[in-house]
Amino acid sequence: MWARGHETDWNFYADAVGDPAWNYESILGIYRRIESWHGVADQRHHGTDGPLHISPGSAPAPIALAYLEAAQRAEMPTFDTMNGTLMEVAGGASITEVTVLNGQRQSIFRAYTYQLMDRPNLTVLANTLVTRLLFSKTDCIGVEYERGGETLHAYANAEVIVSSGAIQTPKLLMQSGVGGRAELKEFDIRPTLQLWRVRKCFLPEGRRPRERLGASPPKPSSRAHAVRRRRILFVPIIVRIVRRRVSAFRIVPESTSVRRCRLAAESRNVFDIMETNE
* pLDDT digits 0-9 by tens, 21-41: 999 999 999 999 999 999 999
Alpha carbon distance 153, 124 (integer Å): 15
Per-residue pLDDT, 201: 60
Per-residue pLDDT, 200: 67
Q: Cα 74–78–84 angle (5° rounding)? A: 145
% of the chain surpassing 90 pLDDT? 45
Residue spans of beta strands (DSSP E) within the chain: 35-37, 52-56, 92-95, 97-98, 100-101, 104-105, 129-136, 139-147, 150-155, 178-179, 193-194, 230-235, 239-244
pLDDT at residue 144 is higher than 90: yes
**pLDDT tens, position by position, 37-86:** 999 999 999 999 999 999 998 888 899 999 999 999 999 999 989 999 99
Mean pLDDT of the chain: 75
Per-residue pLDDT, 220: 41
**pLDDT tens, position by position, 166-224:** 888 889 999 999 988 888 888 899 988 888 778 766 654 434 444 433 444 344 444 33
